[in-house]
Chain A
Amino acid sequence: EDQVTQSPEALRLQEGESSSLNCSYTVSGLRGLFWYRQDPGKGPEFLFTLYSAGEEKEKERLKATLTKKESFLHITAPKPEDSATYLCAVQAIGSGTYKYIFGTGTRLKVLA
């Protein structure tokens, strides 16, 4: 069964304290892995798509990496405005409906 597990569930960082969020996945064939940011009461905001192992993408203080079993979202020198829930999702090859499978997210709090 296709599955996505995110860890940790919650993370508190001091401003400037770099860290990584993990997304482990089990999928029959990976079509794509997606990272989203969600603020309270809002819809998820698209961050990155990764398609194959070894791929990396960067945007400001965020960097996403992908292996055959997991993805990491590295946050360098975070600021309080980076506080949000970060969601990971995978899309499986052969999924005729292009269905996304979401993890439960990591709630990040960055303290000033």
Chain B
Amino acid sequence: GAVVSQHPSRVICKSGTSVKIECRSLDFQATTMFWYRQFPKQSLMLMATSNEGSKATYEQGVEKDKFLINHASLTLSTLTVTSAHPEDSSFYICSASFRGVEAFFGQGTRLTVV
């Protein structure tokens, strides 16, 4: 399958700071990228969908000013958690798709806000 690289795999930050997570498709052009959040022993909760070169579409209840998504190229999307607080601690996962066919996932990022 295609390779999607997500970085960093783990990050610890202080409350009030911002954290950027990168998602790269290494061997294909990702026209669509998805960002998910996953709580322990629960399924993936879609946060937003982004198409290259356009603004992200956020799911209901997801604060767009807090979770900034940029999809500037066909191989890179970033999620920035702004002014992070302990309740933002979670496992964040990106996935990438070429024209809506199979989506391939990154390794995930464990964010801990202290």
CB within 8 Å of B: which residues of A?
31-32, 34, 36, 41-46, 49, 87, 91, 97-100, 102-105, 107
- The answer to whether the Cβ of B77 comes within 8 Å of any Cβ in the partner chain is no
By the criterion CB–CB under 8 Å, are A87 and B43 in contact?
A: yes
If A43-B6, A97-B57 touch, does A105 touch B105 (CB 8 Å cutoff)? no
By the criterion CB–CB under 8 Å, are A98 and B43 in contact?
A: no
Q: Which residue of A lies closest to B45 (CB)?
A: A102
Beyond A97-B49, A100-B95, A102-B44, list 4 extra A-B contacts (CB 8 Å): A41-B108, A46-B104, A97-B32, A99-B46
* Residue count of chain B within 8 Å CB distance of chain A: 29
Chain B residues whose CB sits within 8 angstroms of the CB of A43 once the complex forms: 4, 6, 93-95, 105-108
26 A-B contacts (beta carbon < 8 Å) = A32-B101, A36-B105, A41-B91, A41-B108, A41-B110, A42-B107, A42-B108, A43-B93, A43-B94, A43-B105, A43-B106, A44-B44, A44-B105, A45-B105, A46-B1, A49-B101, A87-B43, A97-B49, A97-B51, A98-B32, A98-B99, A99-B34, A100-B34, A102-B44, A103-B43, A104-B42
If A41-B110, A43-B108, A98-B97 touch, does A34 touch B43 (CB 8 Å cutoff)? no
CB within 8 Å: A-B pair count: 60
- The answer to whether the Cβ of B103 comes within 8 Å of any Cβ in the partner chain is yes
Q: Which residue of A lies closest to B93 (CB)?
A: A43
Complex CA–CA separation, A31 to B101 (angstroms): 9
